Structures are given as structure tokens and as C-alpha cells.
């Protein structure tokens, strides 16, 4: 169950299970280019999903991921949100986030549905729940954390051992 400020919210689908093959996606980068999971095949990947980079917790989480990415240069760190690419680009420039690739669901919500993270109801309907997924080089899920309360950060210590 996921909550927002203590109130239950519903998500579309179910989060990916451990060892599941991650579904293909099409998301948009800061230069308005479509990006696909297949492009990143062969690299270990950490996906962090956030409702919006314009909130304090999402900003803090993304900056933390940026610092982790500096320490793990052979792995790919992606932050995915419903923010427009222009807002993501502005955030990264203002906050000096250079080690994380930000991707947007601007063109469709398929990623959120396929990964079981699209919020269905409440004030955050249409945004993504907060989560961390780690995929191996073959795009299989090796770590999943669906943060139970959207206003809280993930358990950074738990997933760092998978990097």
C-alpha cells in the first residue's frame, strides 16, 4: 500500500517483481528526444521515480542520486518523473545535477502503467509514486523499493549494496 500524507492512494498495475524482465519504455530527455530501455542494455541501471522535481523530497532524493552516481560511474542513474523536460533541465542546471539522466513521461503514461507506479487518485493522480528499481545488465530487476509514503525518501542504505 502507498500513502500520500497518510491517506491511501491507488496505483495502476503492480510494481515489477524481483528477477522480472523490465518492460521496454519510451520516455523523453531534456532535449526532447525519445529514449528507450533498449539503449541502456548492457549497463547496470538505477531508476528513481519521483512525483515532481519541484518538491523538496524529490529534489533531495535526486541530488542524493547524483552524488551516488559520482561514486558509481560505470552504472547509469535515471530519474523519471511527469515533469516537462524543460523543468527537468532547469532543475539540473540550478542544482548542478550532472550525473543523473532525467526522463519525462511527457508524451504518455505508459511507463507508469507498465512499472505499476502511476498514481490513479488523490491530489497526485497522473504522477509517479516514489520508487527505486535497479536493473542488471540484461534488464532484469535485482532491487525494488516502492516507498510506502510518497512524502518520504527511499532507504538509501538498503539499495546501495546492489550497486
Q: Which residues are catalytic?
A: 58
Quote the Cα angle for 8-10-11, to 5°.
Answer: 140
Chain centroid to CA 138: how far? 18
Q: Where are the beta strands (DSSP E) in 99-160?
A: 101-104, 131-135, 141-146
Question: How many residues in total does the chain contain?
Answer: 163
In 3D space, the residue among 156, 162, 159, 150 whose CA is nearest the CA of residue 50 turns out to be 150
Cell of 13: 498495475
Residues 67 and 63: their CA atoms lie apart, in Å, by 6
Amino acid at each position: 500500500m502507498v500513502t500520500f500524507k497518510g491517506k491511501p492512494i491507488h496505483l495502476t498495475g503492480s510494481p515489477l517483481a524481483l528477477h522480472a524482465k523490465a518492460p521496454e519504455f519510451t520516455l523523453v530527455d531534456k532535449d526532447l528526444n525519445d529514449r528507450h530501455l533498449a539503449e541502456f542494455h548492457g549497463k547496470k541501471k538505477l531508476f528513481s521515480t519521483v512525483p515532481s522535481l519541484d518538491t523538496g523530497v524529490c529534489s533531495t532524493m535526486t541530488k542524493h542520486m547524483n552524488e551516488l552516481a559520482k561514486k558509481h560511474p560505470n552504472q547509469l542513474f535515471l530519474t523519471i518523473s511527469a515533469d516537462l523536460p524543460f523543468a527537468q533541465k532547469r532543475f539540473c542546471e540550478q542544482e548542478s545535477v550532472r550525473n543523473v539522466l532525467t526522463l519525462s513521461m511527457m508524451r504518455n503514461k505508459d511507463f507508469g502503467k507498465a512499472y505499476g507506479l502511476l498514481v490513479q487518485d488523490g491530489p497526485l493522480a497522473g504522477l509517479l509514486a516514489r520508487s527505486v528499481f535497479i536493473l542488471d545488465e540484461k534488464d532484469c530487476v535485482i532491487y525494488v523499493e516502492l516507498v510506502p509514503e510518497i512524502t518520504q525518501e527511499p532507504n538509501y542504505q538498503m539499495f546501495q549494496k546492489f550497486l
